[in-house]
Amino acid sequence: MNILPTERRSLIVLFGATGDLATRKLYPAMLKLYEKGNIREHFAVIGTSRHKIDDEKYREIVEKSVAKETSNKKMVSDFASHFYFVTHDVTNVSHYANLKDKSAELDKKYALGGNRVFYISMAPNFFGTVAKNLKTQHLLSENGGFNRLVIEKPFGRDFESAKQLNDELSAAFEENQIFRIDHYLGKEMIQNIEAIRFGNTIFEALWNNRYIDNIQVTLAENLGVEERAGYYDNSGALRDMVQNHIMQIVSLLAMEQPVAFKDTDIRQEKVKALRSLRVYNVAEASTNFVRGQYGGVGNSKEYRQEDGVPKDSNTETFVAGKLLFDNYRWSGTPFYIRTGKKLADKFTRVDVVFKKPLVDIFSFPQSGSTPLNANVLTIFIEPNQGFSLMVNAKNSEQGFHTEPVNLQFLEDSKRTKETPQPYERLIHDVLKGDGTNFASWPEVASAWKFVDQIRRVWDIQQPMFPNYIPGSMGPVSADELLARDHREWVYKLNK
């Protein structure tokens, strides 16, 4: 069914308009929205940075950054004609007057109804400053339009810094006006977790500790730190991947059914789930989390030899852990998570491992049958999109032997290519005012409180790094973490 797009009216003030994220992701995403008619006549973008460029030069930058998206030159130039540039240092209060005048001018010119999105695509140390100056310098629209603030990651580096940042933002914007980007939440199959769970009796009826043995979440990357060494070495996999993306995925898997499929109800359930996540003490954190750092092999440099990484760095490039929820639904069913760089492949998947049948009537002595396998629901998030369900069935040979059979649905590559990219979805959600796929402050706060405990323990213990080879699935300790519980990772190498 084709649904006609609703045109969203808004001014987008983009801070960091000449940066990497804006040119690589944001302009192409906006072009897609323009192409589909989600933004068309009534939108304008004011790009800002300290660069001294005019509108014409800025439009060239925008056109260049979207060139590979389409061959329709006329559409690209029409699109780019909505972009304006204001040279602006966000730390200089006097510079906001220009921005205010330009906003008022474009609001009138494009009949934007006073709707404003402020998108801060800059280093996080500027988030608070910009939010404060927007408020004190009267950039927020006061004539009935909306004001929304979009901020990039990372949101703090621990609970304390995140809280301080949140206090700064809250002084200028209400929680429902703040959209904290976690681009994983814009991915098709992450959003599909809710459809699979709450749209299917066969799954939701079994979605609890009576029928599920454990859930595994893997976010694997095959590249190393590349050009991000400076940032990454200060952060590490726990802060860079676990606190945000993994905790968000886990909360979608663990939450109760929301009253309705809308942002406030979904957030409420995610927060409730995260609040029942057990925050570990020192002993529990040491036992339930393991870390790794990649070594070198052949031409592949070890992490400590990468440009920009200190030779004695103890930053983890791999994390695996066991999460426990102390609530009625999940008590006794662990969630295992892992993420790392320079692993065997690049993919994200969730494996839901069901309990084996309590009685296996097929495998008795002399039956020749192998014991029944656990049913496994795998949700493929990327690069493939789809899911599979492993069930036991009789094989077609003489006699009676069961074997695992895989029921699989994978989106074809054409559909996968056409699927909106995360930034397209997320910018559209901001324009609609839908906060479903953004992290709320209570979620961020709970995630930091959990992660801080692990970090505290790791900061006082000396790791034995490097401890895994590129192309593997991480250190041996990640396998031992599950082996201790008499389990194993569903996805493993050389099966």
Catalytically active residues are 245
To the question of whether residue 346 is assigned a binding role by annotation, the answer is yes
Which residue in the shown chain puts its C-beta closest to ligand NAD? 19
- Residue 249 near residue 193 (C-beta atoms within 8 A): yes
Site stretch for ligand NAD (CB under 6 A), options 61-69, 117-125, 191-199, 477-485: 117-125
Q: Does 386 bind ligand NAD (CB under 6 A)?
A: no
To the question of whether residue 479 is assigned a binding role by annotation, the answer is no
- From candidates 60, 89, 101, 204, binder to ligand NAD by CB under 6 A: 89
- From candidates 90, 215, 220, 426, binder to ligand NAD by CB under 6 A: 90
* C-alpha span between 393 and 181 (Å, rounded): 44
Phi, psi values for residue 217, rounded to 5°: -120, 125
- From candidates 16, 28, 292, 334, binder to ligand NAD by CB under 6 A: 16
- Residue 389 near residue 404 (C-beta atoms within 8 A): no
For the residues of 44-65, what is the DSSP string, one character each?
A: EEEEEES----HHHHHHHHHHH
- From candidates 67, 93, 97, 123, binder to ligand NAD by CB under 6 A: 123
What amino acid is encoded at 339 in this protein? Answer: T
To the question of whether residue 240 is assigned a binding role by annotation, the answer is yes
Binding residues for ligand NAD, rule CB under 6 A, total: 20
Least Å distance between CB 107 and ligand NAD? Answer: 22
Least Å distance between CB 438 and ligand NAD? Answer: 14
Q: Does 293 bind ligand NAD (CB under 6 A)?
A: no
- Token pair for 168: 């700064």
Residue 62 or residue 379: which is nearer to ligand NAD going by CB? 62
- From candidates 6, 50, 204, 345, binder to ligand NAD by CB under 6 A: 50
Give the residue from 435, 422, 346 showing the smallest Cα distance to 25. Answer: 422
Site stretch for ligand NAD (CB under 6 A), options 19-27, 108-116, 207-215, 386-394: 19-27
Residue 88 or residue 304: which is nearer to ligand NAD going by CB? 88
To the question of whether residue 90 is assigned a binding role by annotation, the answer is yes
Q: Does 121 bind ligand NAD (CB under 6 A)?
A: yes
Site track for ligand NAD across 152-171, x = CB under 6 A = xx------------------
Angle at 252 between CA 228 and CA 278, to 5 degrees: 85
Give the residue from 255, 289, 284 showing the smallest Cα distance to 272. Answer: 255
- Residue 431 near residue 119 (C-beta atoms within 8 A): no
Q: Identify the bridge partners of residue 389 per DSSP, sorted by sequence position.
A: 377, 407
Site stretch for ligand NAD (CB under 6 A), options 12-20, 109-117, 269-277, 368-376: 12-20
* C-alpha span between 54 and 63 (Å, rounded): 14
Residue 49 or residue 446: which is nearer to ligand NAD going by CB? 49
- Token pair for 49: 């940075």
To the question of whether residue 492 is assigned a binding role by annotation, the answer is no
How far is CA 115 from its chain centroid?
27
Regarding beta strands 318-323 and 376-382, do their DSSP bridges make them parallel or antiparallel, or are they unpaired? unpaired
Q: Does 91 bind ligand NAD (CB under 6 A)?
A: yes
Site stretch for ligand NAD (CB under 6 A), options 74-82, 85-93, 209-217, 353-361: 85-93
* C-alpha span between 389 and 72 (Å, rounded): 42
To the question of whether residue 51 is assigned a binding role by annotation, the answer is no
Residues 51-80 that bind ligand NAD (CB under 6 A): 51
To the question of whether residue 342 is assigned a binding role by annotation, the answer is no
CB-CB neighbours of 318 under 10 Å: 32
Q: Does 463 bind ligand NAD (CB under 6 A)?
A: no
Residues 6+ apart with CB under 8 A from 453: 279, 280, 281, 285
471 Rama class: left (phi>0) / alpha (psi -120 to 50) / beta: left
Q: Is the peptide bond before 422 cis (omega within 30 degrees of 0)?
A: no
Q: Does 18 bind ligand NAD (CB under 6 A)?
A: yes
Classified as helix, coil or strand, 320 is strand
Site stretch for ligand NAD (CB under 6 A), options 120-128, 169-177, 198-206, 356-364: 120-128
Phi, psi values for residue 424, rounded to 5°: -65, -50
Site stretch for ligand NAD (CB under 6 A), options 60-68, 89-97, 309-317, 321-329: 89-97
As to burial, measured by CB atoms within 10 angstroms (0-12 exposed, 13-18 middle, 19+ buried), residue 416 is middle
Give the residue from 485, 207, 493 showing the smallest Cα distance to 321. Answer: 485
Least Å distance between CB 134 and ligand NAD? Answer: 13
Residue 6 or residue 91: which is nearer to ligand NAD going by CB? 91
- From candidates 31, 80, 122, 478, binder to ligand NAD by CB under 6 A: 122
Span between the terminal Cα atoms of the chain, in Å: 42
Residues at the annotated binding site for substrate? Answer: 183, 187, 221, 240, 341, 346
Q: Interface with ligand NAD by CB under 6 A: which residues?
A: 16-22, 49-51, 88-91, 121-124, 152-153
Residues at the annotated binding site for NADP(+)? Answer: 50, 89-90, 153
